[in-house]
Chain A
Amino acid sequence: MNNSLIIGQYVPGNSLIHRLDPRTKITVIFFFVFIVFFANNVVSYSILTLFAIACIVTSRVPIRFIAKGLTPVWFLIIFTFILHLIVTKEGTVLLEILGFKIYSGGVIQGFAISMRFFLLILVTSLLTLTTTPIEITDAIEEMLHPLKKLKFPVHELALMMSISLRFIPTLMQETEKISKAQASRGVDFKTGPIKERIKAIVPLLIPLFISAFKRAEELAMAMEARGYQGGEGRTKLRELKIEKRDMLIFVLFVFVIAGLFYFRSW
């Protein structure tokens, strides 16, 4: 459980998609999410679907991990499909169930919108499946760098993200430790009258929050002792670098966009 928290949904691997610069992945996905809304016929949807499938195949992420990412949205996809089936009244009547007429336009519309959701989730989950949270944090810091001129605290936000990531497993263990320590003193979270159970939370939470402040004091002192003075002039442990493969993906993606706008019906 602790392990899955540090790496998030990341599936370790060494595929082309894994090795891409995280900035490349974020940029491509950002534009993908945007252009999905421009697809409006069979060819344009096919281009996007092909691109998504190609990415998934090259990433070599097992299908069950991708399916897991889709579980929370199945409901939404099926729901919108049925909704469009009922609401849209265009084209010819395909069949009639209990007084409800299902039109061909509804089927097409429903299918298109579901496909849009499906593609969106598929491609965005591919980012978190092939990139560790810490890589994404580094990439976001780099990409938001220009905002620094506007006094936006880019470095500080990235630092806080890294600290959170680093301490989630530690705090998880600590919560477990405190609850065991309190249980050994006779605190009971699972049974007994409701009032007692609620009261039992108090000795669990107070040490957790107080220790966060103590830990912050220690960490701040350690950082200052090592000369931390904010983001100015700080060098990095992990350097991001745009390689040939990143350029290749960008070129490929430009073709996808061009194809989409060429073949979509205006």
Chain B
Amino acid sequence: MSDSSLKLRMMIVTALFAAIIGVLAQVTIPLPLVPITGQTLAIGLAATILGWRYGTLSILLYLALGAIGVPVFAQMSAGVGILFGPTGGYLFSFIPTALCIGLYLEKTSFNLKNAIIANIIGMFISLLLGTVWLKYIAELSWGAAFASGVAPFLIVGLIKAVLAAWIGIMVRQRLASANLLYA
């Protein structure tokens, strides 16, 4: 396959991943206490499947879609107001999260163990940046910000990280066997 048609395919895949993140952000799996939301799971999956370059690009597209008014953020919300609101830090943190997950996997190799490590690192980056943002926007104390921004999501976050790694690697294997993996 030539360079330009390879690039075209990756561009389309990236665009579709941005759309998938938007769709999965509306899906929640009810669990006791904190539900699993599809959004962070989809972010981890995008980075694990696509790698840092196209993974990060799909996140940027996703945020841009939300910014121009397509209701792709959680609970069908959208707009610049959400991006710069109290929870906007979590949305922006997806960019470095995807970057780190993708880079870690590309520097090592795409296997289950590395994917789990990468996704757990990603989860911590996301929670950390989101909480710092929440603290400053809502002017909370560090303790209050930690209690409302990190603690409730820690265990579910770990489950999600493992799930994203597991599914991501599985998708990559299937794509490779179907000769569809160009990333």
Contact = CB atoms under 8 A, between A and B. Distances in A.
Interface stretch (B16-24, B94-102, B113-121): B16-24
A198 B171 contact: no
B138 interface: yes
B139 interface: yes
B171 A161 contact: no
Given A69-B79, A213-B180, A171 B20 contact: yes
Given A72-B77, A212-B17, A168 B23 contact: yes
B27 interface: yes
B4 interface: yes
Interface in B1-40: 4-5, 8-9, 11-20, 22-24, 27, 29-32, 36
A147 interface: no
B128 interface: no
A92 B139 CA distance: 26
B76 interface: yes
Contacts of B163: 198, 201
B12 A163 contact: yes
Nearest to B14: A160
A128 B69 contact: yes
B68 A133 contact: yes
Main secondary structure of the interface of B (DSSP, over half): helix
A168 B79 contact: no
A234 interface: no
Given A160-B18, A175-B27, A230-B4, A128 B79 contact: yes
A136 B29 contact: no
B65 A133 contact: yes
A83 interface: yes
B75 to A, nearest CB: 10
Interface string A47-88: 000000000000000000000010011011001000100000
Interface of B: 4-5, 8-9, 11-20, 22-24, 27, 29-32, 36, 41, 45, 49, 57, 61-62, 64-65, 68-72, 76-82, 85-86, 137-139, 159, 163, 166-167, 170-171, 174-175, 178, 180-181
20 contacts: A5-B70, A72-B77, A124-B79, A124-B80, A125-B79, A161-B15, A164-B61, A164-B62, A168-B70, A171-B23, A197-B29, A206-B167, A208-B20, A209-B45, A209-B167, A214-B180, A216-B13, A217-B180, A220-B9, A230-B4
Interface of A: 1, 4-5, 8-10, 69, 72-73, 75-76, 79, 83, 121, 124-125, 127-129, 131, 133, 136-137, 140, 156-157, 159-161, 163-165, 167-168, 171-172, 175, 189-190, 194, 197-198, 201-202, 205-206, 208-210, 212-217, 219-220, 223-224, 228-230
